[in-house]
A and B are shown apart, each in its own frame.
Chain A
Amino acid sequence: MVNMKPDDSVEAIAVELRAQAVRLWGEHRASELDTSIQQTAQQLWDLGQETPHRDLEPGFYQ
């Protein structure tokens, strides 16, 4: 499972994602996914910079 702490850097998140990708699909496929992993790490980091109001529930169907 992917382990992430709220204050992880983009690089630390990418390392976690990559380790999980290797576990699921092997080293070769994980290497092919490097660019996507970097982008996803950045997106997850972006989300981590926001603090939703404690009473805010998820939207799902708008």
Chain B
Amino acid sequence: MPQPYELTVSQAAQQIKDKKLSPVDLAQSLLERIDATDKDLKAWVTIDREEVLTTAKQREEEAQQGKTRGLLHGVPVGLKDIFYTAGMKTAAGSKVYADFVPDFDATSVAKIKEAGGIILGKAVTTEFATSDPSPTFNPWNFEHTPGGSSSGSSVAVATKTVGAALGSQTGGSTCRPAAYNGIVGLKATYGRISRYGVVPVSWSLDHVGILVRTVEDAALMLQVMSGEDANDPGSASEPVPDFLKQMAEFNKPPRIGIVSQYYQEKSTPEVWANTQAAIKQLTDTGTEVVELSLPNSFRSTHSAQRIVMNVECAAFHEQFHATQAEDYGPRVRSGMEMGMLVPATKYLQAQRLRRQFRQDMVQMVGQVDVVLTPATPAPAPKDRNTTGDASFQVPWTTSGLPTVTLPSGLSEGGMPLAIQLGALPFEEGKLLGVAKWCETALGLQLSPPNYS
């Protein structure tokens, strides 16, 4: 019989619905797990235990009466500390926001609550979700980076102190730490999940991210949070399908595209061999594999992403920077200062090139069900002064196409390796269906040995 903290989101929600699990017992189990692990891991920054247990008690009473609010009834969820929470500090890992207490919930947080979810607490983020490393430790090996910027959320999920946590991605901040910690990360299509009430890095690049331990949980969380939001100017009016149904109905061998160009060159031999081994396992299940070529517009996509991110970051922080520049970490500060130097014409050229790249990516990805790449060029670096390499996520973030990352093995040094799948805009149902297919074919669920 597993401990409540070991349950996935889907398992916990089902057991609560079936009156086999008490939301209070689940919340208590997770809080005790945090007490037992977080002194070492430093994944959590703010937890209101009284509020968690009070809400869990309410959900328990409702469940006992057969009343459930939605898919997450009684299930705790963690939030990267850039998501606004009414009445709860949202410090964004920064001195500049150290005392900021929002008076409303981010739309994604409100949707979690509407679905019966319980906000367990705020997870550590790198400063303003950029690249100055956070204090969080990688549970697989404390000498390696946990990645960033969603470091606390990823480590919290990997070590089973929560079943699901929200992250964000402007470059590679959800799928890269997911890969480094051996869990599942989902970045939906730009506009699918509202950004309203999320401290921005870059308005036109920021995505809300999902960190979980199974593909099914990724689909469930996406279902809860998707939808148009008038408060987010980048929100899409695309209808929200039944992702769980679409995922379950995808039951034929997929047609997968691989891109050796660039991804092979940039990967370590070990990572590339692991990806090839994963592809072999998939072809054994009947998967068709097609080699694809990157569009010419790929050449400038990393530079375009960096220019757009720095300029928009500079615009957001301009007033704080004028009076509190010394309060910023070195990398976030230099990034915004670079943004202040970029001419407006160059920013607009970067946005034009992004648009071209997105159009070209749609053409490329449209030839297959999904494109498969390694998730990162190498496993989590043995260096706590970096958050790792986001270059394999950047093309997908820049173009706004949806991606999912899932574990594909362990390196010789015992660190997680992962693959990344990308699909057409707003085809998350198919993406998750293929991801589920891959998860089953690879038959792998990783757990850090000291935190199993």
Contacts and interface: CB of A to CB of B under 8 A. Distances in A.
B190 A62 contact: yes
Interface string B294-315: 0001011001101100100000
Contacts of A56: 352, 355-356
Contact of B307 (A43, A58, A61, A62): A43
B341 A2 contact: yes
Judged by DSSP, the binding face of B is helix
Nearest to A33: B334
Contact of A62 (B191, B306, B346, B348): B191
A25 B321 CA distance: 12
A40 interface: yes
B259 interface: no
B377 interface: no
B234 interface: yes
B59 interface: no
B338 A46 contact: no
Nearest to A61: B234
Contact of A21 (B337, B350, B400): B337
B356 A40 contact: no
A61 B304 contact: no
B355 A44 contact: no
Tell which of A17, A43, A48, A59 has the most Cβ of chain B within 10 Å: A59
A47 B303 contact: yes
B113 interface: no
Contact of B356 (A1, A24, A52): A52
B337 A57 contact: no
Interface in B337-385: 337-338, 340-343, 346, 348-356, 358
A47 B352 CA distance: 10
B349 A52 contact: yes
B386 to A, nearest CB: 14
B428 to A, nearest CB: 15
A50 B295 CA distance: 13
Contact of B352 (A32, A44, A49, A52): A52
Contact of B300 (A1, A25, A29, A50): A50
Nearest to A60: B204
A40 B351 contact: no
B233 interface: yes
A1 B400 CA distance: 32
A28 interface: no
A20 B341 CA distance: 7
Interface string B153-191: 000000000000000000000000000000000000011
A36 B341 CA distance: 11
A52 B47 CA distance: 49
Contacts of B300: 46-47, 49-50
B214 to A, nearest CB: 28
Given A52-B352, A60-B204, A47 B341 contact: no
Contact of A25 (B191, B204, B234, B337): B337
A48 B352 CA distance: 12
A60 B351 CA distance: 6
A59 B351 CA distance: 5
A58 B348 CA distance: 6
Interface of B: 190-191, 204, 233-234, 297, 299-300, 303-304, 306-307, 310, 334-335, 337-338, 340-343, 346, 348-356, 358, 399-400, 425
Given A17-B341, A59-B358, 12 more contacts: A21-B341, A25-B337, A36-B337, A40-B341, A42-B303, A47-B300, A52-B353, A56-B356, A58-B352, A62-B191, A62-B204, A62-B358
